[in-house]
DNA sequence: GACTTTTATATCGTACACGATTTAATCGCT
DNA sequence: AGCGATTAAATCGTGTACGATATAAAAGTC
């Protein structure tokens, strides 16, 4: 679907070019979270994307690279080096799935498993940092998911 | 300020490790925007961060690297190479400010200025892709800014 | 007026993102 | 069974992000 300009076009550009950009607000919010996560994750030696991968492994290890990718919305081109860094840090193991040699199964080392305890306090810290009630947060999440879904639909038309 | 776990801690980790992560929803929404912007910006030869810089120049050129950085929340370590790529593409000029030789002033070339016309339809396309009314969008932006502000405040305590 | 501090940019190293391509294994079809 | 299509990872190249450091100019201090 091509975008057709309409009578609203002249109103969407404000004096301040950043003022009306919803995308920029999303970006800024995302960066703000990154900054709050950083000091919490630094003692664990994890970056935020690495933390997302570890969260899934703590919950459901072992997982294939592809399954991890579906959960965190990343593909092997990003995940492979990331997981190799986790392996270097002796947090995860990587081996080919004997049942399907195309797959690589990622598991936790004892050190990787143990790290979950040090990370247990992170979610509550983040919740506190938002300064929002869980109900209010859930509403915002619902709106964001709706927006994301509509954006992706638009893109596929 | 250190984060103290409280009685809610046990509720913030759901079965699905991704389910309750507001940060991930922000990331996903941001990525969805990137995907909608991409086909719109590709004909212009711009990436999304480059587009943000050009938006500010179209509005207020010439600008120093620092001023651009304040507007798009990036620093010289990211901006310098980005702006050099815009210069390679003959869209912007870079020169030291004679009044203060520390500053680098970024201006538009004729080609850079002309590109604004090709980009004029982008904001209305994005608005259409959100599938939201401007009022509704403004409300979401207000919430996001409040959240961002609280997160950054938390981080500085 | 030399000296310290601050400011503005640039450089460097590490770590994502992601499109495009490659490689190898498995699947599907006849 | 053979073989083209599909799938799962990995690899490659480009472009952000960003902490740490470097460099040079300007501002502040005695």
In order, the DSSP letters of A15-47 are: SSTTTT-HHHHHHHHHHHHHHHHHHHHGGGT--
Task: Give a yes or no: residue B93 inside a domain.
Answer: yes
Task: Give a yes or no: residue B97 inside a domain.
Answer: yes
Task: Give a yes or no: residue B74 inside a domain.
Answer: yes
Question: Helix (H, G, I), strand (E, B), or coil: what is residue A93?
Answer: strand
Task: Give me the CATH number covering residue A111.
Answer: 1.10.10.10
Å: A56 CA to D2 C1'? 41
Nearest by CB to residue A129, choosing from B9, B36, B154, is B154
For A12-67, write each residue's pLDDT tens digit.
Answer: 445 666 666 888 888 888 888 888 899 999 999 999 999 999 999 999 989 999 99
In this prediction, residue A27 carries a pLDDT of: 83
Residue B122 burial (CB count, 10 A)? 20
Average pLDDT of chain B, as a whole number: 87
Tell me whether residues A121 and B9 touch, CB distance under 8 A. Answer: yes
Task: Give a yes or no: residue B148 inside a domain.
Answer: no
At B37, list the tokens. 């912007």
* Under 8 Å between Cβ of B154 and A129: yes
Residue B99 burial (CB count, 10 A)? 7
* Under 8 Å between Cβ of B109 and B91: yes
Q: Check whether residue A73 has its CB closer than 7 Å to nucleic acid strand C.
A: yes
Residue of higher predicted confidence among A16 and B58: B58
Question: Helix (H, G, I), strand (E, B), or coil: what is residue A156?
Answer: coil
Tell me whether residues A30 and B23 touch, CB distance under 8 A. Answer: yes
Task: Give a yes or no: residue B30 inside a domain.
Answer: no
Tell me whether residues A18 and B55 touch, CB distance under 8 A. Answer: yes
For A91-147, write each residue's pLDDT tens digit.
Answer: 999 999 999 999 999 999 999 999 999 999 998 888 888 989 888 889 999 999 999
Residue of higher predicted confidence among A119 and B18: A119
Task: Give a yes or no: residue B89 inside a domain.
Answer: yes
Average pLDDT of chain A, as a whole number: 87
B14 has pLDDT over 70: no
Does the CB of B11 have a partner CB in chain A at under 8 Å?
A: yes
Nearest by CB to residue B3, choosing from A15, A25, A125, is A125
What domain count does chain A have?
1
A11 has pLDDT over 50: no
List CB contacts (< 8 A) between A120 and chain B.
Answer: 9
B10 has pLDDT over 70: no
Q: Which of B23, B34, B17 is nearest to B148 (CA)?
A: B23
Å: B97 CA to C1 C1'? 26
Interface of A with B in 56-85 (CB under 8 A): 56, 58-60, 71-73
Q: Check whether residue B65 has its CB closer than 7 Å to nucleic acid strand C.
A: yes
At B95, list the tokens. 């020169």
Question: Helix (H, G, I), strand (E, B), or coil: what is residue A108?
Answer: strand
DSSP character at residue A10: G
In this prediction, residue B8 carries a pLDDT of: 43
Tell me whether residues B56 and A12 touch, CB distance under 8 A. Answer: no
Nearest by CB to residue A12, choosing from B48, B124, B143, is B124
Residue of B nearest to A68 (CA): B18
Task: Give a yes or no: residue A20 inside a domain.
Answer: no
Question: Helix (H, G, I), strand (E, B), or coil: what is residue B139?
Answer: helix
Question: Helix (H, G, I), strand (E, B), or coil: what is residue B64?
Answer: strand
Cis peptide before B62 (omega within 30 of 0): yes
pLDDT > 70 fraction of chain B, expressed in percent and rounded: 85
Task: Give a yes or no: residue A57 inside a domain.
Answer: yes
Interface of A with B in 119-148 (CB under 8 A): 120-121, 123-132, 134, 137, 140-141, 143-145, 147-148
Question: What is the per-residue DSSP string for B76-126?
Answer: HHHHHHHHHHHHHTTSEEEEEETTEEEEEEEEE-HHHHHHHHHHTTHHHHH
Least confident of A58-72, B59-73, B124-138: B124-138
Q: Domain limits at A111?
A: 44-115
Tell me whether residues A32 and B71 touch, CB distance under 8 A. Answer: no
* C-alpha dihedral, B34 to B39 to B45 to B51, nearest 10°: -40
DSSP character at residue B6: -
CA distance B75 to chain A (A): 14
């Amino acid at each position: 679907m091509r975008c057709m300009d309409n009578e609203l076009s002249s109103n969407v550009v404000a004096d301040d070019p950043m003022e009306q950009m919803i995308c920029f607000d999303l970006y800024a919010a995302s960066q703000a979270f990154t900054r709050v996560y950083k000091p919490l994750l630094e003692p664990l030696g994890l970056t935020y994307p690495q933390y997302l991968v570890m969260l899934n492994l703590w919950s459901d290890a072992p997982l294939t690279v592809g399954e991890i990718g579906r959960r965190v919305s990343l593909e092997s081109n990003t995940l492979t080096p990331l997981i190799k860094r986790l392996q270097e840090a002796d947090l995860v193991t990587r081996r080919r799935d004997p049942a399907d040699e195309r797959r690589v199964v990622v598991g936790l080392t004892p050190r990787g498993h143990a790290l979950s305890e040090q990370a247990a306090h992170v979610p509550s810290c983040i919740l506190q940092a938002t300064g929002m009630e869980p109900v209010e947060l859930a509403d915002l999440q619902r709106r964001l998911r709706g927006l994301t879904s509509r954006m992706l639909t638009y893109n596929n038309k």
